[in-house]
Structure formats: C-alpha cells, structure tokens
Amino acid sequence: MAELPRAVRQAMPLAREVAVEVAKQYGVCIRPVPLKRLDVDTGRWEVVDVPCGATLDAKCPSCAKRNRQLRMAQCREGWHLDHEPTITPNDPNDEQRWLVEFRADLQARRDQAAALGEDTADWDAAVKGVDAEINEAGMRGNVLGRTVPKRTRSTRRRQDAPNLPKRRMSPTTLGRTFTSSDGKVYRPSLFVTLTLPSYGKVRDGVPVDPETYDYARAARDALHFAKLVDRFVQNLRRVAGYDVQYFATVEPQKRFAPHLHMAIRGTLPRAEVKQIAAATYHQVWWPPVDKVVFDGDHFPVWQDDTGYLDPATGEVLPTWDQALDQLDADEDAEPLAVLRFGDQVDVKGVLAGTPDADQCIRYLSKYLTKSLGDSLDAGDRAQREHAARMVEALHYEPCSPRCPNWLRYGVQPKDAKPGMAPGQCRSKAHKPDHLGYAGRRVLVSRKWSNKTLAEHKQDRRAWVLQALGQPNEPTDPHRYIWKPVPAGDANVSPLAVRLLRSVAERQRWRAHMAQLQAQAGGQDLPATEEAAA
C-alpha cells in the first residue's frame, strides 16, 4: 500500500463507505461473517461470506429487511391452513451443521480445560451461546439431547387456571369453517393485539408526570412479558378446545412498553378473547427485592467452595434454591410481581386471501427491522429522557435467576460464580436497545405451518434456481466442513471488495430475472430482490 499515491490512500476509507451504501441499495448484507469452507469432494478450502442474518439475528439493515420478508411469508403460510401440518424434523442444513461442529470443538476444549483443572466458566458460556444459536437455526432441543431438570414447586405456588369456560379438546390445529347459504366455505381467523396496563398518564409516548409514572412496574412487566403471553396461549387453547396455533410479534409501543400482535388460526367469539385476556395473569415467584441488603461499598465477596458471603459478618448468602425454598415455606409470601394485560384488547376477524389479511401481515411485521428501544421519535428529548428513566429502573431489577443483581438483595444468583456484582449484568434485558424485553421478537407456535424459517429460505432458493434453469440438487450435508476464520486472516479480502463482489453477483441475478420476467410476460414472478436472497 506504501506505493499508492497519497490522494488515493486518503480516498480509501471513503471507498469503503460507498461500498456499504451500494450494498444496502442492492439488499446485500453489509456485515457478512467470513467462514472457511472445505469442499470434501475437491479438497479445496475457500472463504465464504455468510450473511449476518443467517442466524436470524440480523445485525444489518439488508438482512433485517430480508428476514422480515421471510417472516411475512411464514405468517401468510400458516394463518388459514385448511389441512393439518405434518411436522417432521428437518435435515440439518450447512449452517446448522457448521454450528454443531463448532460446538463439538468448543466442548472438546472445555473438557480439556476441565481435565487440566482450569476454570471452565468461559467455555461453558460459549457452549451455551452456541446451543442457543443452534436452536435459533431451526433445530429443536440441544445437541446432547439433555433437558434441564425442572424444579418441583409446592402446589400452592402453581399458577391456577383462571375462571374461564373450558371446552373439550379436539385433536386439531384447524379452526371451524362456516358454510354460507350458497355453499361457499369460509375459514375465518383472528388478529389480536394485546397491550400492557397503564403506568401513569402518557402524552405522545411520554409520561405526563415522570415522578408518579410507575417505572418499576413497567420495567418488571417488560422483563416478564413473554411469560404472560405463554399464559394467554394456554388459556386460549383451554377455552377454544383445540390446539390453537399462532404467529405473533412483540413490538414497542411509543411509551416503550412491549405489546403483541398475534395472528391466530381459527376463530373464537370476540367477547371470549377479551374475557381470556382479562382473566390471564402471571405470577413471578422470585425472592423479594424490596429490601436492599448490599449497597455502596458493602458488597458480598466470593469464597471458593463456599459462594458469596457478607464480608462484615462472614455469613453465607442463601443460594438461589435455598431462597426459593424459603419462599415456598412461607405461607404469607407474596409473588414478586403479578402481570396482567391492559384493557386495550383489539380483536379482529380476518378472512383468508383478503386485502385485509395482507394488511394485517404487513402491520404484524412492521417493526421487525427495529429494536425495541429504537426511539420512534429519535430527535425527541422528552422521549430520550423517558428511555433513560426506564433504563435506570431496569438497572438493579433482576432479569433472570442468574442475574448478578440478586446479590444486592442478599441472594446468590443461580449458578453463582466469582466476579459477579450488582448492576453489572450483561444480559440484553438491561440495555437501552431492549428496555427489559430480551425475548424473541417473533413467536411462532410449533404447528403453525409445515415449515421452519430455514425451510422457507430453502423454498425461495429452489424457486430462483428453477427459474434460472439450474439444478437445485440438495447439497450433500457431508460435502462441506466449516471453520471460523481467525481475525486478521490474510485470505479474507477487505470488506469493500467483498461487498462489491456480492453486489455484482446480485446484479447478475437481477438481469437474469428481468429477462425471465420479460419472457414470462411479467407473470407470477415475485420481486427479484427478495427472490435472489
């Protein structure tokens, strides 16, 4: 690079920015992950760029947009099914295979560290992270087929089913049909919107009086929102009397509370859905957090083989399980929180194939490319301050049994390890991007459609290949071996080069698709951009 003229050198960072802009315009991933791939048939290694959105956790706008389109296709596919889906486990695709191999590699290193008597905490965390990725990639369960033993709780603590009508279960996932007098069969479905309750008067998404706005409750509700949704589905199924399937998205309201849009297959009377929402609640049976035990410089300290103890008294803090036992034994104990939905419940009947259904699907996926904490009115100071107060409320709120914040309230977090400190939890739940809700943004029941998202992607690819007159032979899953690329690997070209290469490829696709479209008279060919994904 030394022999390049100075002017050219100075222009180089700019070239990279331009490449990123061009890539965005063409819907190309701007944060590709390079992976090394060995083709077993040819014995050749090559570096392949995998789009950042391949693991469904898109980090760039192009992948976010593409994943949104896939989600819309998935939603459309299951909403008005007229036959039972057949659920079969899928063959692992390349990406899943790579994750499994990567995990095996991590496990080996972890076991090696354990054999040497080293601390395995980091390895364990890495293995857990990859397990989560594998699940995201569409495989069910974890690689070892291990299930976490469930803690048996006293019956008193069980969440009782609320007082709701209950129909006999029939073994179907399909809703009722209605036949009109002229013999036409209708298959109505539902579109439901659920919100959380009020925490104080709000104007333009901002509390009128921040002093009285219940930030603590807003924070807690956001943290446990996913559980409340689970309860709603359980109750819905009980009342409906069939195995109700749903496709739902969690989106931010302007006041930053998560709310839920849900496409439901089949129909119930509107009043009944509202009754179910009103009766649904979730109790959080966690130790109390109303008393701060450790604050300021007074922190519990870690002692090997013992756990966290009070440095002043030497008293060992109760472990997570002990704290839960105490809670069970206490007849007067109250749940840490009881969650309920707000009064604002919207229920709408939707018929398959109507413009109405399409509009709902667009609405359902509207915010999928945004993070929960993305201010909907970014320039607004009042909203930024509101978000900051929300983050503050979340700072010491325990987000999970493993949250280091438990130490503040005198309890050892589950799986406590050295180096934990209250207020230093690294979970997404505490971050401004998430504002308490760290769960999945899209919730799809298992029997929604016949396909996983990975299979929807495969469909699209197959269609494009067919349209191009190329064979879509299933790739032999044993053909490739994937390896991560170490940082600074000389085989990886600069980002700008890689992006422009992808753009060129995308242009070739587009030209070819346009030609095919012209031949087909513009009929029945979906937008080239999403097809070329």
Least spacing, CB of residue 308 vs Zn ion, in Å: 16
Nearer to Zn ion, 107 or 371 (CB): 371
| CB within 8 Å of 118: residues ≥ 6 apart | none
HSE (side-chain half, CA atoms, 13 Å) at 476: 7
Cβ at position 320, least distance to Zn ion in Å: 13
Q: How far is the CB of 65 from Zn ion (least distance, A)?
A: 9
| Least distance in angstroms from the C-beta of 58 to Zn ion | 6
CA atoms within 13 A on the CB side of 183: 0
Map residue 220 onto helix, strand or coil: helix
Nearest residue (CB) to Zn ion, 63 versus 532: 63
Helix pair angle (453-467, 61-79), 10° resolution = 100
**Which of residues 175 and 422 has its CB atom nearest to Zn ion in the complex?**
422
Q: How far is the CB of 132 from Zn ion (least distance, A)?
A: 16
Question: Which CB sits closer to Zn ion, 22 or 279?
Answer: 22
**Do residues 291 and 407 lie in contact, with contact meaning Cβ atoms separated by under 8 Å?**
no
Q: State the residue for tokens 């069970």.
A: 328
**Closer Cβ to Zn ion, 63 or 496, answer by number:** 63
Per the rule left: phi > 0, alpha: psi between -120 and 50, beta: everything else, 183 is: left
By beta-carbon proximity to Zn ion, the closer residue of 72 and 425 is 425
* CB contact at 8 A, 187 and 179: no
Write the CB contacts of 332 (distance below 8 Å, at least 6 apart in sequence): none
Q: Shortest distance, CB of residue 468 to Zn ion, whole angstroms?
A: 23
**CA dihedral defined by 495, 498, 501, 502, rounded to 10 degrees?**
-100
Comparison of 231 and 434: residue with beta carbon closer to Zn ion: 434
**CB closer to Zn ion out of 324 and 425:** 425
In the complex, least distance from residue 345 CB atom to Zn ion, rounded to whole angstroms? 30
354 contacts 389 by C-beta, under 8 angstroms = no
Can you list the positions of beta strands (E) in 316-456?
337-340, 345-351, 442-444
The torsion region of residue 204 among left (phi > 0), alpha (psi -120 to 50) and beta comes to left
**Which residues lie near Zn ion (CB under 5 A)?**
29, 31, 51-53, 60, 63, 399, 403, 425, 427
- Least separation in angstroms between CB 139 and Zn ion: 21
To the nearest whole angstrom, how small is the minimum distance from the Cβ of residue 136 to Zn ion? 15
Q: Which is nearer to Zn ion, 52 or 273 (CB)?
A: 52
Is residue 480 within 8 Å of residue 40, measured between CB atoms? yes
Least Å distance between CB 400 and Zn ion?
Answer: 6
> How many angstroms separate the Cα of 348 from the Cα of each of 190, 261, 322?
6, 11, 47
- Output 31 or 451, the one with its CB closest to Zn ion: 31
If we measure between CA atoms, which residue out of 530, 458, 462, 473 comes closest to residue 93?
A: 458
Amino acid at 191: F
How many separate helices (H) and strands (E) can be counted in the chain?
A: 13, 16
Residue 414 — φ and ψ, nearest 5°?
-60, 140
CA nearest neighbour of 267 among 246, 283, 288, 250: 246
Q: Who's near 457: CB < 8 A, 6+ residues apart? A: 70, 533
Q: Which is nearer to Zn ion, 33 or 376 (CB)?
A: 33
The least CB distance from residue 405 to Zn ion, in Å, is: 6
Q: Name the residue nearer to Zn ion (CB basis): 52 or 464.
A: 52
The DSSP letter of residue 330 is: -
Nearest distance in Å: CB 500, Zn ion: 16
Nearer to Zn ion, 196 or 425 (CB): 425
Residue 211, judged by CB atoms within 10 A of its CB (0-12, 13-18, 19+), counts as exposed
Cα diameter, the chain: 83
Instruction: Output the smallest distance, CB 33 to Zn ion, in A.
Output: 9
CA–CA distance, 327 with 404 (Å, rounded to integer):
19
